[in-house]
């Protein structure tokens, strides 16, 4: 079997306060994103986002309609955002093929057609990170590079958070129903992202961390501002962030992460901030 999936159910914030480390990791951490010649997916009840990855090595991989979708095609009622975080590859969407290099993205609108993933070189396989949300309308499929992105520079080296935010699947770049995705690159000497911390109760979010050195790790902070928790993770792993949770991280090295959001609106600035000194 080339496709593996699991379902994650939503948690009440009062319940999550009592989770131990194992439960936090089981419910929110996605450890297995990439495996050779596999598609791995997590279907979350947080705004019904799907988070996962495809890593074609010896053969092409199909984005299949998993059983929870009850649909003939994965994209029958869904839109998809894809980032390539590996070697050169391509995504075939129906009769069209899109070449994706490292850190290039592809938005796929809803509609009944097959989607296949290919690597240009099996010795350097592509790694396609996937986010998918429900869609009420079909928008055009579009490739997005960093040159196309809406770019925002934030932070400073003195504050350990000098970073570039590449907003790639957002309203200023293309039309989508609810999916938004982007990539934040921290510069050497910087380790903090998303500070001051915030929540956005009208959207949930998923964070995927990569470019983390093998001997380093990321500490992801989550939970309500007055009741925070943390999850340690490695490169090529992701975290689900409920609408009631902050989402921030510090690491033992600089790194890059891809954020994806789905929910009620697409207003990037719709955020409720919390002073750093108020976090508990």
What the block records as the tokens of 147 is 């040159």
CA distances from 28 to 8, 133, 242 (A): 8, 18, 9
Reported in sequence order, the residue ranges of 50-156 that DSSP labels E, i.e. its strands, are: 50-55, 61-62, 78-84, 89-93, 96-100, 105-108, 115-119, 128-134, 142-144, 150-154
- Tell me the pLDDT tens digit for each residue of 112-153: 999 999 999 999 999 999 999 999 999 999 999 999 999 999
Q: Is the overall model pTM greater than 0.85, yes or no?
A: yes
Asked whether 195 and 248 are in contact (CB, 8 A), the reply is yes
- Tell me the pLDDT tens digit for each residue of 61-89: 999 999 999 999 999 999 999 999 999 99
Nearest to 131 by CA among 60, 177, 87, 79: 79
Tell me which architecture the domain covering 3-278 has in CATH. Sandwich (2.60)
Asked whether 168 and 148 are in contact (CB, 8 A), the reply is yes
What the block records as the tokens of 16 is 């999550």
- Tell me the pLDDT tens digit for each residue of 2-15: 999 999 999 999 99
- Mean pLDDT, residues 154-163 taken together: 96
C-alpha distance across the termini of the chain, in Å:
44
Helix (H, G, I), strand (E, B) or coil at 21: helix
Average pLDDT of the chain to the nearest whole number: 96
């Amino acid at each position: 079997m080339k496709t593996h999936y699991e379902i994650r159910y939503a948690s009440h914030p009062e319940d999550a306060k009592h989770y131990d480390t194992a439960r936090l990791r089981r419910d929110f951490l996605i450890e297995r994103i990439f495996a050779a010649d596999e598609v791995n997916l997590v279907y979350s009840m947080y705004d019904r986002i799907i988070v996962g990855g495809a890593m074609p090595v010896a053969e092409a991989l199909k984005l299949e309609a998993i059983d929870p979708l009850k649909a003939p095609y994965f994209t029958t009622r869904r839109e998809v955002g894809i980032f390539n975080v590996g070697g050169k590859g391509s995504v075939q969407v129906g009769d069209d093929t899109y070449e994706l290099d490292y850190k290039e993205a592809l938005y796929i609108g809803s509609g009944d057609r097959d989607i296949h993933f290919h690597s240009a070189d099996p010795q350097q396989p592509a790694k396609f990170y996937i986010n998918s949300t429900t869609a009420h309308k079909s928008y055009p499929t579009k490739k997005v590079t960093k040159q196309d992105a809406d770019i925002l520079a934030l932070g400073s080296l003195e504050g350990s958070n000098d970073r570039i935010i590449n907003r790639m699947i957002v309203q200023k770049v293309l039309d989508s129903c609810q999916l938004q995705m982007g990539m934040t690159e921290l510069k050497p000497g910087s380790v903090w992202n998303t500070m001051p911390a915030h929540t956005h109760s009208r959207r949930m979010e998923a964070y995927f961390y990569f470019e983390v050195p093998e001997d380093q790790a990321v500490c992801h902070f989550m939970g309500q501002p007055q009741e925070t928790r943390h999850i340690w993770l490695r490169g090529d792993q992701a975290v689900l962030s409920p609408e009631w949770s902050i989402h921030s991280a510090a690491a033992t090295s600089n790194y890059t992460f891809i954020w994806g959001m789905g929910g009620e609106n697409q207003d990037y600035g719709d955020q409720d901030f919390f002073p750093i000194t108020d976090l508990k």
